[in-house]
Structure 1
Amino acid sequence: MRVIITGGGTGGHVYPALAIARGLQQARPGIELLYMGTARGLEADVVPRAGFPFRTITVQGLERRRLWKNVPALAKTIKGLGEAWFQVRRFRPHLVVGTGGYVSGPVCLAAALQGIPVVLHEQNAYPGLTNRLLAAVARAVCLTFPEAAGRFPRRARLVTTGLPVRPEILRADRGICRGKLGLGENQLFLVVIGGSQGARSLNRAMLPVLKEMAGRPDVSILQVTGRRHYDGYLQQVREWGIDLDKYGNITIEPYVYDLEHALAAADLVIGRAGASFLAEILARGLPSILIPYPHAAANHQEYNARAVAGKGAAVLIPDRELKSGRLYHVVNQLLADRGRLQAMAAAAKELGRPGALEAILEVILTELENM
């Protein structure tokens, strides 16, 4: 049995693809997998490290605003389609799984034109252009958010599965992790993370929060700034008169490798609204304050955040409102209302899909068995 996995550009496309690849290996030992991506995307680094065979094609993203710049991109896409056709014909897969990103288009289209079944996974509440177009030739589209369904063709077979979450996120024990972090039984633990690259506007908006919470025995804060913002942010913290050595309840880190421990221990999370991050905090049943990245393609992070906030699991604050001090007021309101935090946590747990990977694998394996 042979399967091609494709998806690239960002972690939002690559990590779900890797989770699916590992799941297929466990479900069907001996399966042959090939990952197809680009030489420039994140996949070129992480896929070979994960131990999967990896091949690349030529592709370039389209300009959404300056359409006249798309002529070279279209030429590369046509070239990529030819390369994908050759690679697909050479590997002879029984099925192709696409998780989005520009590379998915040529690979999935080449497979469909050769009569090979295609299954897609869409991470966001506002689906990406590639998956919306490919839905017309796919056997099934697995959705993370049911809100995405209305943006696909009516004839498309849509299955709401959720997004695969790393096993370590689900396995982390709250009591053990809180003990390792030295948290008191009734101490509220606030985790702030702006993504792997950090978020300058979110960091800046946290300064009055840190000033207010410094030294409070009932609150502990972990803020992850992103590596490129770390040194500059520490200087800002000092300028605000916040002595981290004096006030031991505030920890500021550039990056956290074992984020699963912090999430397991958390009572409230503040962050962006990327699909993978949301899947993790919902699977853990965590209340959150979401500040969508304002420059995400098609503003998809705001659609993600609205889907979660609309069910009562989060408070949405647009990035443009951070300068008004709204974050400070919302944090204070939530930390002072444990009943509301508990209600938000219950709503998050209801939305979480810890069995997402199994649901996606069921769709894929059913297609393979029906061949």
Structure 2
Amino acid sequence: MKKIVFTGGGTAGHVTPNLAVMAELRRQGWDMEYIGSRDGIEKDIIDHEGIPFHHIASGKLRRYFDLKNFKDPLRVIQGTLQAYRLLRRIRPHIVFSKGGFVSVPVIVGCRLAGIPVIAHESDLTPGLANKISMPFVSRICVTFPETLKHLRGGKAECTGLPIREQILKGSAAKGRQLCDFHSSKPVLFIMGGSLGAQKINQAVRSILDSLLQEFQIIHICGKGNTDPGLQGIRGYRQFEYVKDELPDLLASASLVISRAGSTSIFEFLAARKPMLLIPLSRAASRGDQILNAESFRSQGYCEVLQEEELTADSLLSGVSSLYADRERVLANMEHSPYGDGTAQIVRLIEAHRLKEGS
């Protein structure tokens, strides 16, 4: 039996690319399990897939001063011991890590247990978890070619992002039916990330009447962020979070407003959806989304509105400009060099398994 353990969590972007790799490995007869955190978004996603899930302790890795920085290293040590014991019991041939805080103790546990690790970095510059884990991994796959210059040691390979195949199999008609929309008016799809984005939500709602003159709107608001006062408005549907409905809803869209997490924007690119990207600011992040968005803008796949510049007027102007320019953006997307990284990653996993068995 070929066996693999997956890890990664904290946000959906650290989990959903794993699903694409899992689907292909399942077809090839691999047995798989998952190690994540108890309260992370990864548990709900993986439970939905019916894959055995194990939770370990995990401390957050911060780049700023916080009193928790003195306590969380102990949680990482605890998580490493828990991961080591799990790995010794599961005995996988290999571990695939998608990053996030929970991946660090799992990867260190793999080193202690003598299990090879292939990691994947989605963003243009490596995240802190992958930077810490680099000495312990056999190979690290990257999404952007520009990322290779940030990684030393000959371990990096540009594979692209694994794309969930179901995201490209949605039905626009079903998406419109889910929202009670008609086909004679374009659909604007708005998503502020897996946890939502309050500032985007507020800006959208402040110009809702103007947007509804031109578009029907699907608004993914984040948990607890729907507005009961807007329920029932014709042409506007809000959701906290979507899973199985996402491919159909996305298929119905003409334009997308989104944060600039790499998983989301590469899926939108694969689905050929022109994007207005509003990356997280440097005040709220390490700036990775800004770099992702600028890379896509330079290639003509999107327009970018910085969060510091987000107002009702700038959002309305950005949407209007993107819609007017959508044919050029779609033409650029058709010539994109980025493909689905799933097959290349699966080949690497299989090659490492054969190497370990030889």
Same fold, judged at TM 0.5 (above):
yes
Question: Which residue does 2:196 correspond to in 1?
Answer: 198
Question: Which residue does 1:6 correspond to in 2?
Answer: 7
Question: Which residue does 1:241 correspond to in 2?
Answer: none
Q: TM-score, normalised by structure 2?
A: 0.87
Question: Which residue does 2:256 correspond to in 1?
Answer: 269
Distance 1:354 1:178 in 2: 28
The one-character-per-residue Cα deviations of 1:225-249 (angstroms, maximum 9, x if unpaired) are 34523226629xxxxxxxx75xx5x
Aligned ranges for residues 132-211 of structure 1 at < 5 Å? Answer: 132-152=131-151, 154-173=152-171, 181-184=181-184, 187-207=185-205, 209-211=207-209
Contact 1:100/1:131 (<8 A) preserved: yes
Query: Shift of residue 362 of structure 1?
Result: 1.6
RMSD: 2.7
Distance 2:115 2:42 in 1: 23
Query: Shift of residue 174 of structure 1?
Result: 5.0
Of 216, 220, 223 in structure 2, the residue corresponding to residue 220 of structure 1 is 216
Distance 1:21 1:117, change over 3 A: same
Distance 2:27 2:183 in 1: 37
Question: Which residue does 2:272 correspond to in 1?
Answer: 285
Of 280, 293, 296 in structure 2, the residue corresponding to residue 308 of structure 1 is 296
Question: Which residue does 1:26 correspond to in 2?
Answer: 27
Distance 1:102 1:268, change over 3 A: same
Question: Which residue does 1:125 correspond to in 2?
Answer: 124
Query: Shift of residue 354 of structure 1?
Result: 5.0
Whether 1:322 and 2:305 are equivalent positions in the alignment is no
The one-character-per-residue Cα deviations of 1:41-62 (angstroms, maximum 9, x if unpaired) are 2233332342222222222113
Distance 1:98 1:81 in 2: 14
Percent identity of the aligned residues?
A: 31
Distance 1:43 1:302 in 2: 25
Contact 2:207/2:312 (<8 A) preserved: no
The one-character-per-residue Cα deviations of 1:293-346 (angstroms, maximum 9, x if unpaired) are 3365412222221221121111111111112721111222233x2xx3112123
Structure 2 segments unaligned to the other structure (5+ residues): none
Distance 1:349 1:364, change over 3 A: farther
Distance 1:361 1:67, change over 3 A: same
Distance 1:221 1:331 in 2: 12
Contact 1:308/1:314 (<8 A) preserved: yes
Contact 1:124/1:304 (<8 A) preserved: yes
Query: Shift of residue 361 of structure 1?
Result: 0.9
Distance 1:111 1:225, change over 3 A: closer
Distance 1:150 1:268 in 2: 33
The one-character-per-residue Cα deviations of 1:114-140 (angstroms, maximum 9, x if unpaired) are 432210011212221111222233221
Distance 1:233 1:282, change over 3 A: farther
Tell me which moved more, 112-121 or 307-316: 112-121
Q: State the one-letter code of the partner of 1:25.
A: R
Question: Which residue does 2:328 correspond to in 1?
Answer: 343
Aligned ranges for residues 92-111 of structure 1 at < 5 Å? Answer: 92-111=91-110
**Secondary structure in 2 matching 1:228:** coil
User: Structure 1 stretches (4+) deviating beyond 6 angstroms?
Assistant: none
Q: State the one-letter code of the partner of 2:204.
A: M
Tell me which moved more, 47-56 or 126-135: 47-56
Question: Which residue does 1:238 correspond to in 2?
Answer: none
Contact 1:286/1:349 (<8 A) preserved: no
Distance 1:80 1:176, change over 3 A: closer
Larger Rg: 1
Aligned residues: 350
Q: State the one-letter code of the partner of 1:277.
A: S
Contact 1:99/1:121 (<8 A) preserved: yes
Distance 2:142 2:21 in 1: 14
Distance 1:120 1:107 in 2: 11
Query: Shift of residue 82 of structure 1?
Result: 2.1
Structure 1 segments unaligned to the other structure (5+ residues): 236-243
